[in-house]
Structure 1
Amino acid sequence: MNRPDLVLLHGWGLGPQVWSALTPYLPAGLRVHTPPLPGHGGTPAHSPTLEAWSDALLPELPDRAVVCGWSLGGLVALDLARRYPHKVARLVLIGTSPCFVTRADSAGSPWPHGLAAATVAGFIDNFAHDPAATLRRFVALQALGDARRRTVSNALNAALVNSEKCDRDMLATGLELLADTDWRAALDDVRQPVQLIHGAGDALMPVAAAEWLATRLPDARLARFDDCGHAPFLSRPEDCAVLIEGVVRG
């Protein structure tokens, strides 16, 4: 009998090591894949688009996998599920929002469940001048609102990419993808079952974004952790592993 495949896609500025707290709790028998995103030690994308980032990961993806994406990795997972449904049987989205920045869509519908555009523009500008400090600030925001803030901060800092050794241009592109991507109009194309996992104290991607996703994706359910911030899989890895196991078993 074939073992099920689980693909874990990390967030911006961090490497696959960020999953090390979660993987010991995952069920035995899984084939776990933790490819790095472009610019984070992985294969560079050919163009600075979310689609290019997804395409760069295709060689790492087995068919019919459960794909779990966190933060920016969640946006990549959504794109893979929409364009390559034979690769993605089910989705787990952790700390994921369809739109990172407050804005109106092309029809004028407001999106209040994000960071202010000026704040994100500041991150992009600061990264260009001092990437290491910007990465540390981003990590600090991810730990806010978590009852285990020190544990989460330590794990995130241990998984930070080395801004001197990675592709700075591609890392900058990752921030721009977060700023520019608006997935609200494309959600009907995601037909796979989706397990959403979100911390109620998430300071980067408010839990209201996940609540909205749960109502708009065709087949989704939401697990909300009231004592967590942006990285519940670090704060409560055992509980997240139980949810992921439920998705794998279908």
Structure 2
Amino acid sequence: MIEPALPPTRVLDLPGRGRVTARVVDGDAPVLLLHGWTLTADVNFCHLMPRLPGGLVAMDHHGHGRGPARTERFTIEGAADDHIALLDALGIDKVIVLGYSLGGPIGFDLARRYPERVAGLVLQATALRFDSWMDKLTRPLLRAVRPLTTLGLGRTAPLRFFGDTRNRSTETKLLWQWLRRELMLCHPRTMVDVMLAEYDFDFRPHAASLRDVPTVVVLTSKDSAVPPRDQRDMAEHLGAEVITIDEDHDVFLAAPKTYVAASLEAIARVTT
């Protein structure tokens, strides 16, 4: 099985959160990597991690992969607190926060409640609010099927989503056995709870509070999951710079060179 060359891991005990596994690279400008829905940090950032010379911190969210195994239901605020607890355990005072999709809301909440810990924001394929017509249709359906997730129904949903990516990307095809293992780590109950938490999330009333934070939006102009207009609206509310890439929501696997180049450019802009 081919696996990507990833940074070393550290196992830490977080008070009240249990034992977690995080990838940590020491550096002068560490980037806190916040991954997307149903993923692990390794999947979302496997091509980016080896290219971050300023250091990095990456942990799976609550209910995902090797993240905190708290018994509470997933919340955006709880996930943000988990990552602050990780930074505390590592003795890291300030980071550049990079949030992809679900990582965006978590990054917003973290920056709003812990502004002293955030040196800059990089937001990718995300929005201030998830209320597209598809989101509105999906919300009642998820509430209805949530009880069925105790049976494990839906565990293969991430595999189906990225099946097309596998056919379009040589890198993804080579890593597929490893990716398949990683994509099966998220429990269906967490998948549903995360989506419902995102639907309840609305950062628009708080956007002005982040206008002094250096922020760059990496906008995926062909995104079928987060409408590009919502990404543009987010950038306008935040007064953020925008880097546009003509890719879909799976860009980090489907077009890794494009994704890495845009991410490094965004990090450089918020750093300077």
Shorter chain as normaliser: what TM range? 0.7 to 0.9
SS in 1 for 2:36: coil
Whether 2:199 is the aligned partner of 1:179: answer yes
Whether 2:113 is the aligned partner of 1:83: answer yes
Identity of aligned residues (%): 25
**1:157 shift after superposition:** 4.6
**1:126 shift after superposition:** 5.4
Change (3 A) 1:74 1:66: same
Q: Which residue of 2 aligns with 1:118?
A: 137
Does structure 2 conserve the Cα–Cα contact (< 8 Å) formed by 1:195 and 1:247? yes
Cα distance in 1 for residues equivalent to 2:114 and 2:238: 17
Cα distance in 2 for residues equivalent to 1:211 and 1:5: 27
Normalised by the length of structure 1, the TM-score is 0.78
Change (3 A) 1:82 1:68: same
Give every structure 1 segment of 4 or more consecutive aligned residues whose post-TM-superposition deviation is greater than 2 Å: 44-49, 119-129, 133-141, 147-159, 168-172, 231-234
Change (3 A) 1:182 1:242: same
Which of 219, 232, 237 aligns to 1:216? It is 237
Q: Which residue of 2 aligns with 1:232?
A: 251
Q: Which residue of 2 aligns with 1:108?
A: none
Does structure 2 conserve the Cα–Cα contact (< 8 Å) formed by 1:65 and 1:90? yes
Q: Which residue of 2 aligns with 1:14?
A: 39
Does structure 2 conserve the Cα–Cα contact (< 8 Å) formed by 1:7 and 1:34? yes
After TM superposition, the structure 1 stretch with the greater mean CA deviation from structure 2, 120-129 or 237-246, is 120-129
Whether 2:272 is the aligned partner of 1:242: answer no
Normalised by the length of structure 2, the TM-score is 0.73
Does structure 1 conserve the Cα–Cα contact (< 8 Å) formed by 2:102 and 2:198? yes
Does structure 1 conserve the Cα–Cα contact (< 8 Å) formed by 2:101 and 2:125? yes
Which of 95, 115, 120 aligns to 2:125? It is 95
AA aligned to 1:184 is R
Cα distance in 2 for residues equivalent to 1:33 and 1:14: 16
For structure 1, the residue ranges without an aligned partner over 5 or more in a row are 103-113
Q: Which residue of 1 aligns with 2:15?
A: none
AA aligned to 2:199 is A
Aligned length, in residue pairs: 228
Q: How large is the Cα RMSD of the aligned pairs? A: 2.9
SS in 2 for 1:69: strand
1:50-83 residue CA offsets vs partner (Å, 9 max, x unmatched)? 1122112212223220010101011100110111
**1:225 shift after superposition:** 0.7
**1:89 shift after superposition:** 1.0
**1:176 shift after superposition:** 1.3
Does structure 2 conserve the Cα–Cα contact (< 8 Å) formed by 1:124 and 1:175? no
Does structure 2 conserve the Cα–Cα contact (< 8 Å) formed by 1:12 and 1:71? yes
For structure 2, the residue ranges without an aligned partner over 5 or more in a row are 1-26
**1:125 shift after superposition:** 4.9
Change (3 A) 1:74 1:82: same
**1:124 shift after superposition:** 5.8
- Higher relative contact order at CA 8 Å, sep ≥6: structure 1 or structure 2? 1
Whether 2:59 is the aligned partner of 1:59: answer no
Whether 2:57 is the aligned partner of 1:33: answer yes
Does structure 1 conserve the Cα–Cα contact (< 8 Å) formed by 2:63 and 2:190? yes
